[in-house]
Structure formats: C-alpha cells, structure tokens
Amino acid sequence: MGRKQKLRQERKIKNNKNSTPPAVVTTPSEATVEAASEGELSIFAILVEIDSVFPKSDEYVQATDDSQIIYGNEDNKLDNNEQYALFKQGATVHGCVHSMFLMGEGHCNHMYKYLGHPWFLEGAIRGSFVSLIGEFYLDHAEPNRNANTLYGYWGKIATNFDTRLGPKIAPNVLKHQIGRKCAICLKTDTKTFTLKQCIGCSFYCYCSESCQTTHWNEHNHRGECKQLRILHKYHKPYAKAIRDAAIRGDIHPALEKLQYKLGLTRPLEDYQEIITYCTHDGKISDPKDYVVARDDGTVWVGSIPSTACVSRK
Ligand SMILES: [Zn+2]
Ligand SMILES: [Zn+2]
C-alpha cells in the first residue's frame, strides 16, 4: 500500500468515527479508482469527462490541491473543516459544481447521508453528475419513502445530456416493475375493474382511495409527486439553458426560481433540528426519512444560503 493510499485509508477511518461534518477529500477520479467496480468506473469516467466543461472555483482547486489533500501530512495546510469551508464557499459563492459534488459525496461516508442530498441536487439542477441524484435516491431513501418517479425523472434528464448516462434501471423498465398494479396492495386490472393512475405523476396506480391515501401519507408519495411537479414545471423546460449558463460561470434566472421552489434556499431554522439531532417535531427519527421531500415537495435540508454542514460544528 502506497503512503498516500494508507493516509487516505486512515483518513476514512477517522471520518467514520467522527460525528462532526465529514471531510471531503477525494476528487472524483480518486473516488472512482477506490470505490467503484469496473462497471461503475466507466460511468464515473464519463461523468468526470462531461463535467470537465464546468469551471472549477479557486476554492475547489485550493482544497483539492494534491499537496493539501493528504490527511495527516505535515505539509498539509488544511484541516478537514478548513477544506470543507472552501468547498462550501466554492459551491455557494461561485456555483462550483465540482465543490458541490464533493460536499454531497463527503456525506455519503457519514451516517447523515441525507445532508448530501441538497448538494447533489444543486449539482443536478445545473446539469452536473445528473445521474448520481437518481442513484442517491435508490441507495439512501427509505424503500417505503418512494422516489421512483424522481429516479426516472433524473434518468431522463441525464440521458438527454449524454446518451451514455442512461440510468441503471431504464424508465420503461421501472414503470414495468411498478406496472399496472396497485402501489399498496398489488391488485391488478381485471375485466370488470380498472386501476386508477395518480393524477399528479401518471406513474403509480391505485385500486382505491384508501390505498392511494396510504401511499400518499405513509409512503410519502405526496412529497415525491409534488417535487416531480416542481421539476417538470421549473426545471425541465430550462434544464439546458441553466446548464449552458453554469458552464459559462453564469446563473440563469430560472435556476434561482427553481432553487426557491425546491426549498433549497429555505432558512436554516427550518431544518436545524434535523441536521443536529435528526429529529422532527421533537421526535427522533430515521435519517432516511429526510432524503426525498417534505409534503409540499420541497427538500428537507436546504443548501444556499444556509448550509447544513458548517452549522453542525
Ligand atoms: Zn390497493
Ligand atoms: Zn403521483
């Protein structure tokens, strides 16, 4: 094992023990080599290639400078928090998608994975690492807290940007898996009975109002369906223009509106208790419940201007 590799491993162990904000220290290419299987490697390689068109903030460059990312090295000029602060500044002040990716990725080594969500989403709405947000839902959302339609949405957006980025589960396969059966009791169509589709997304089917209510309330389809509608209205028509502007280092007006509609700009007070103790309304709860969306379709945890991580110090 090389010295650098060993240090990186030690750093990982330290990060896992650490209950404070995670350090984000690997670049996408390093993450690729270390963590991904060969199949994933190629997708990551494509993502890195595609995202190389986005500008890198000075803060990102400084934080990932090779001489500075080696944890524990005497030459290391930055500790984890300083590095994290640089990424945060790169992401929030300069809209640097590379910083956003590493902020999201940093949280994935950490128990509070949902804190990575707003950063992956910030990147995705700018057209960066788009297919990762869907994978994030598959990997980190509570299975009963649905995110299948959001997975499908981001899969299509990713494919529009680059056909090599098709999602692991193609939208038509996903739809077939969900299929013509009630999302709750799995009842199917018969000659005399036809299931009803969800009016919001036309994706899920229900046999009865009672199953629909269960799906909407207990499985959080209400939040998912509403977030999907926000994306269809405020993201999809502008997705390319927002991305083109981000590549030029500009902010498209539609991006700001979308951030607001998705709740990414919500004040820190709205989610302080979630990021600190993972509680909501005073009850301790499962972090996975905070991955997808609130009842109104907005995100649980915001990104700009208040950020989760620094406040968790
Ligand atoms: Zn049913
Ligand atoms: Zn729906």
pLDDT value of residue 7:
38
Range of the domain at 101: 3-163+238-311
R_g (Cα) of the chain, nearest Å:
20
**Which residues are placed with Cβ below 5 angstroms of ligand 2, an ion?**
198, 200-201, 225
Nearest in space to 197 (alpha carbons), one of 213, 210, 183, 186: 183
Query: Do the domain assignments include residue 53?
Result: yes
Query: Do the domain assignments include residue 184?
Result: no
Judge whether 124 and 50 are in contact, CB under 8 Å.
no
Backbone angles phi, psi at 196, to 5 degrees: -105, 140
Strand pairing category for 196-197 and 205-206: antiparallel
Higher pLDDT, 23 or 108: 108
Query: Do the domain assignments include residue 247?
Result: yes
**If you measure from the C-alpha of residue 288 to the centroid of ligand 1, how many angstroms do you get, rounded to a whole number?**
25
Judge whether 114 and 260 are in contact, CB under 8 Å.
no
Ligand nearest the Cα atom of residue 228: 2
pLDDT tens track for 142-201 = 766 778 889 889 988 988 887 777 666 666 667 666 668 899 999 999 999 999 999 999
Nearest in space to 304 (alpha carbons), one of 97, 155, 93: 93
pLDDT of 74 above 80: no
**How many domains is the chain built from?**
1
Query: Do the domain assignments include residue 218?
Result: no
**If you measure from the C-alpha of residue 141 to the centroid of ligand 1, how many angstroms do you get, rounded to a whole number?**
23
pLDDT value of residue 108:
72
**If you measure from the C-alpha of residue 22 to the centroid of ligand 2, how many angstroms do you get, rounded to a whole number?**
35
Between CA 216 and CA 288 the distance in angstroms is 17
Which residues in 99-236 belong to E strands, given as ranges?
196-197, 205-206
Query: Do the domain assignments include residue 214?
Result: no
**Which alpha helices (DSSP H) does 65-113 contain, by range?**
80-94, 97-107
Strand pairing category for 205-206 and 283-284: unpaired
Query: Do the domain assignments include residue 220?
Result: no
The number of beta carbons lying within 10 Å of the beta carbon of residue 176 is 11
Query: Do the domain assignments include residue 191?
Result: no
Least-confidence region, from 7-16, 48-57, 142-151, 280-289: 7-16
Report percent pLDDT > 70 for the chain: 74
**If you measure from the C-alpha of residue 209 to the centroid of ligand 1, how many angstroms do you get, rounded to a whole number?**
8
Query: Do the domain assignments include residue 187?
Result: no
**If you measure from the C-alpha of residue 182 to the centroid of ligand 1, how many angstroms do you get, rounded to a whole number?**
5
Ligand nearest the Cα atom of residue 225: 2
Judge whether 272 and 125 are in contact, CB under 8 Å.
no
Between CA 119 and CA 166 the distance in angstroms is 21
**If you measure from the C-alpha of residue 210 to the centroid of ligand 1, how many angstroms do you get, rounded to a whole number?**
7
* Eight-class DSSP state of 55: P
